[in-house]
């Protein structure tokens, strides 16, 4: 069985994502250089923290162009999903540019705290193999202050001071703003779907 490539972008969720994959019976290969991407059938880009620091680390590891030209399914998690987009207001940084849109700060308000932290419901907007077996109205665990806009690539959204993208898919490019490794059954199912789906 080929190993899932897990990009070490310095995020604090690296270990928990690895354990979640291993619980699903997967072998994990840590990706720290472009050479580590050779031969892996799928890649997961986790991340926690600031977009500018995440991109700085990817540049330092020589992973930006290899990720941009990757020919296998790629899933970003939390900050990793945000880095799939064109740019982020956080640090005014250019990201990987694989998905259209700019990541922007969530707006606090009455009853709306930023960072958005805790369980919140997923609102499915279109069909995707990523959501197969995930119950309608399922909740997932979020920790973030910035979010991607809802676009035609949005599979599921979430509401916190406004709608934002919670799950995204364009072909073999996928992402989850929430932490599937901390989201119990729905999170495990999303990861399994990413692993098992034959993306176009």
> What value does the mean pLDDT of the chain take?
95
Is a pLDDT exceeding 90 seen at residue 1? no
As a three-state string, the secondary structure of 71-110 is CCCEEEECHHHHCCEEEECCCCEECCCCEEEEEEECCCEC
pLDDT at 18: 94
- Do residues 40 and 72 make contact, with C-beta atoms less than 8 angstroms apart? yes
> In whole angstroms, what separates CA 25 from the centre of its chain?
20
**With pLDDT > 70 as the criterion, what percentage of the chain qualifies?**
98
Give the span between the Cα atoms of 117 and 178, in whole angstroms.
10
- Do residues 188 and 194 make contact, with C-beta atoms less than 8 angstroms apart? no
- Do residues 188 and 182 make contact, with C-beta atoms less than 8 angstroms apart? no
Range of the domain at 157: 4-196
* Mean pLDDT in residue range 89-94: 95
* Mean pLDDT in residue range 139-166: 97
Q: How confident is the model at residue 34 (pLDDT cuts 50, 70, 90)?
A: very high
What's the structural domain count of the chain? 1
Q: What is the CATH classification number for the domain harbouring 54?
A: 3.40.50.880
- Quick: pLDDT tens for 107-152: 888 889 999 999 999 999 999 999 999 999 999 999 999 999 999 9
pLDDT at 196: 96
Q: How confident is the model at residue 13 (pLDDT cuts 50, 70, 90)?
A: confident
Is a pLDDT exceeding 60 seen at residue 98? yes
- Quick: pLDDT tens for 43-86: 999 988 899 999 999 999 999 999 999 999 999 999 999 999 99
* Mean pLDDT in residue range 100-105: 97
Q: How confident is the model at residue 191 (pLDDT cuts 50, 70, 90)?
A: very high
Catalytic residue ranges: 78, 179, 181
- Do residues 165 and 147 make contact, with C-beta atoms less than 8 angstroms apart? yes
- Quick: pLDDT tens for 38-50: 999 999 999 888 9
Q: How confident is the model at residue 12 (pLDDT cuts 50, 70, 90)?
A: low
């Amino acid at each position: 069985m080929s190993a899932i490539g897990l990009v070490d972008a310095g995020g604090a969720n690296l270990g928990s994502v690895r354990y979640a994959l291993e619980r699903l019976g997967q072998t994990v290969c840590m990706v720290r250089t472009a050479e580590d991407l050779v031969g892996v059938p799928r890649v997961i880009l986790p991340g926690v923290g600031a977009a500018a620091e995440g991109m700085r680390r990817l540049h330092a590891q020589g992973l930006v162009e290899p990720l941009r030209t990757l020919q296998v399914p790629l899933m970003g998690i939390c900050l990793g999903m945000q880095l799939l987009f064109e740019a982020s207001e956080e640090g005014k940084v250019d990201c990987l540019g694989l998905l259209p849109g700019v990541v922007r700060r969530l707006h606090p308000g009455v009853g709306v705290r930023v960072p958005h932290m805790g369980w919140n419901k997923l609102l499915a907007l279109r069909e995707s193999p990523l959501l197969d077996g995930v119950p309608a109205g399922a909740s997932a665990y979020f920790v973030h202050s910035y979010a991607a806009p809802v676009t035609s690539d949005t599979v599921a959204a979430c509401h916190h001071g406004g709608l934002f993208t919670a799950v995204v898919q364009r072909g073999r490019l996928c992402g989850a703003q929430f932490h599937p490794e901390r989201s119990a059954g729905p999170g495990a199912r999303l990861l399994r779907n990413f692993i098992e789906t034959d993306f176009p």
